[in-house]
Amino acid sequence: MKPSSVFPKSSLFGLDICAVSQDQAVARLLLLAQGRTGPPAVVVTPNVDHLVRLDADAALQKVYAQADYIFADGMPLVWASRKSVTPLPERVTGADLFVALAHACALAQLPVVVIGGLPGQEQMLTQAFARVYPGLPLELYCPSMQFDPLGAEGMEALRRVNAVRPAIVFVCLGMPKQERWAMAQRQHMQAGVVMCVGAAMEFALGFKARAPKWMQKSGLEWTWRLASEPRRLWRRYIVQGSRFVGLLRREWQQQRIRNTN
């Protein structure tokens, strides 16, 4: 039985998404983190970009769906759930989870491992964590852009995690590298929770600014991010976003069929 079975689920886009609030998610993950005996619970936070990419890659979707906890990062997932039997109460984003869990681990002196950043950034990132999350027991590993989940760097990441036996592993490598690594290595890993959180570290350390709260709640955070990094993110939000419209139409049709049976 998956540990996420304690939560109600909303079946959306081929995923069983936990229908919970952020506070409920944080409380559950902290409970698991405090055990930290392994194998860990794996957490993913799908957004529109993830869903479009998963729809185009059945093998990747099968891997992704094996996560123990799936939380809705994107507001469009919350909207899509409103016609389902179990609607999602709110977004539970990787960026918000990172901040809440890092503060909690610092307070409780629970060790964490962060996998992300670039080689040569270790000192800068360590100092940033010490400034934002004082007292947080931290092990940091910055692999190359050529990170292979099953290659030498993937095994080195596993070695570092098991040397620490952390409460939480924050994997900030981007989708799908982080998910492939977490799923491939979790049976060999000694940790409480593995969080696949993409760019969350940059927000959690203040390197990038989040959108105002009203934009986050209204589903307009993507416009803020697109305006901040148009050259890097235009494809994700314009091209992938337009493809999501087709996925949403198909999902609602499937929900109508399920609701009438």
- Residue 220 falls inside a structural domain: no
pLDDT in tens, 123-178: 999 999 999 999 999 999 999 999 999 999 999 999 999 999 999 999 999 999 99
Cβ–Cβ < 8 Å for 76, 49: no
Could you give the angle at the alpha carbon of 89 between the alpha carbons of 86 and 94, nearest 5°? 115
Query: Residue 176, preceding bond cis, omega within 30 degrees?
Result: yes
- Residue 127 falls inside a structural domain: yes
User: In this model, does residue 182 exceed pLDDT 70?
Assistant: yes
Segment 45-55 mean pLDDT: 93
Task: Write the CA distances from 70 to 32, 41, 125, 140, 212, integer angstroms.
Answer: 15, 11, 28, 25, 25
Distance from C-alpha of 232 to C-alpha of 202, rounded to nearest angstrom: 15
- Residue 93 falls inside a structural domain: yes
Q: The pTM is what?
A: 0.88
What is the number of structural domains in the chain?
1
Q: Which residues contact 176 (CB under 8 A, 6 or more apart)?
A: 53, 60, 63, 64
pLDDT in tens, 27-41: 999 999 998 777 999
Residue predicted with more confidence, 215 or 69: 69
Distance from C-alpha of 197 to C-alpha of 39, rounded to nearest angstrom: 19
- Residue 234 falls inside a structural domain: no
Q: How confident is the model at residue 234 (pLDDT cuts 50, 70, 90)?
A: very low
Range of the domain at 209: 3-214
User: In this model, does residue 5 exceed pLDDT 90?
Assistant: no
Cβ–Cβ < 8 Å for 41, 192: yes
The region, left, alpha or beta by phi > 0 then psi within -120 to 50, assigned to residue 107 is alpha
- Residue 249 falls inside a structural domain: no
Cβ–Cβ < 8 Å for 215, 221: yes
Average pLDDT, the chain: 89
Report the first-to-last Cα separation within the chain, whole angstroms.
26
Query: Residue 39, preceding bond cis, omega within 30 degrees?
Result: yes
- Residue 79 falls inside a structural domain: yes
Segment 212-217 mean pLDDT: 69
Segment 53-59 mean pLDDT: 94
User: In this model, does residue 69 exceed pLDDT 70?
Assistant: yes
